[in-house]
Structure 1
């Protein structure tokens, strides 16, 4: 709920909109039911209102939320933009290994280094079973599937450390299957690429 990048901010907004829509539906339908139970004797039959509004209103709100969710989901897809950094993430029980296209041969274990303020495409795969790459403050979750590469775009607005986790049950030990994303300023990123920082 404390986004530190554009994808996480979009997901947080989506969450709040969906929560608001679900709350509206719940309150409206509960109000209709209460009204139907407590209507005064001799009042018009409430079944028409309950069926009409109890179905029409939720369907309208759900359709609007679905359309909004599809538009937001489309915005989260990686697009071709200049200055995209490409990294590789390989999961295995119980560690993450990261490689960097801008620093061939350079790999890190358990720590993903990225530049702050630039989009980063993470090519995610696994050496054994299904895992999941998730940095809640930077982006959504994406599965690491054996024999397949999934790409997730992350971006950190500011330099800092962001906790990541494998959010997929993959056997005993998955609770400790964690990693850290370190977002560097421009100077720190160049130092990392040149091997001056671990």
Structure 2
């Protein structure tokens, strides 16, 4: 009586299966890369920096995952693969050397990006707008344009950097316009500055990114970027 022995899949078959899985996962991930609150659909230079950092982290993790799956596949289709290498060397090379090379590069790039996001001094000082978070809304005022009061919509000139002076009137909030810039906390009694810029005129959504109570999910606002020649008139009209 002949005993049936299961056939192990070939390396080519295993690699093909893994490739299909990665393609499907990539499609699912990329399907969520756009939208009004997507950091992966930037409309400003600072948001583009954040998106670039995300992609660098993403593809690094994909490469690392692919390497681990390739090693797993080799062990599966070729039992005993790697047995000539001592376990201590697997730990040293795989657990210390490889992360020791990859992680410092990613951390260094993240620190470099974070430094570029800071509101460094420019030859021409950017316009300044005050943003105050109060449960559960945002209030914006434009001191450089006169005593215009405040408005629930943030108006900015397109194509120009603007410094937003962020503070809070009660608890800690967080100012975030995903498609235009990073995020920064709004802290009572403290002023934090974040630079924002839109590539072109349009409307963008902003949110509070720090849980601040039962109305947190409704603490949203709009950013309207206007052509530079229309900016002041838009602010004056909104303040009436």
**What's the TM-score, normalizing by structure 2?**
0.76
Query: Does structure 2 conserve the Cα–Cα contact (< 8 Å) formed by 1:97 and 1:109?
Result: yes
CA distance in 1, matches of 2:225, 2:49: 20
Cα RMSD of the aligned pairs, angstroms, is 2.0
User: Structure 1 residues 41, 141: closer, same or farther in 2, change over 3 A?
Assistant: closer
CA distance in 2, matches of 1:130, 1:61: 35
3-state DSSP class of the match of 1:102?
helix
Query: Does structure 1 conserve the Cα–Cα contact (< 8 Å) formed by 2:154 and 2:224?
Result: yes
Structure 2 equivalent of residue 3 of structure 1? 42
Of 231, 236, 240, the match for 1:189: 231
1:102 corresponds to 2:134? no
Greater share of residues in helix: 2
Structure 2 equivalent of residue 14 of structure 1? 53
1:133 corresponds to 2:162? no
Query: Shift in Å at residue 52 of structure 1?
Result: 3.0
CA distance in 1, matches of 2:132, 2:53: 29
Kindly report which structure 2 residues correspond to 1:43-62, keeping only aligned pairs within 5 A, or say none: 43-55=83-95, 56-62=97-103
**What's the TM-score, normalizing by structure 1?**
0.91
CA distance in 2, matches of 1:196, 1:172: 32
User: Structure 1 residues 39, 184: closer, same or farther in 2, change over 3 A?
Assistant: same
Q: Name structure 1 gaps, 5 residues minimum.
A: none
Structure 1 equivalent of residue 113 of structure 2? 72
Query: Shift in Å at residue 49 of structure 1?
Result: 4.7
Of 157, 161, 179, the match for 2:199: 157
Query: Shift in Å at residue 190 of structure 1?
Result: 2.9
Q: Deviations over 1:103-129 (max 9, x none)?
A: 121133320111111100000000000
CA distance in 1, matches of 2:171, 2:68: 44
Q: Deviations over 1:63-101 (max 9, x none)?
A: 111111111111111111115010000010111111113
Query: Shift in Å at residue 187 of structure 1?
Result: 2.0
Structure 2 equivalent of residue 176 of structure 1? 218
Aligned length: 197
Look at both structures and tell me which one has the larger radius of gyration over its CA atoms: 2
1:25 corresponds to 2:64? yes
Q: Name structure 2 gaps, 5 residues minimum.
A: 1-39
1:88 corresponds to 2:130? yes
User: Structure 1 residues 48, 33: closer, same or farther in 2, change over 3 A?
Assistant: farther
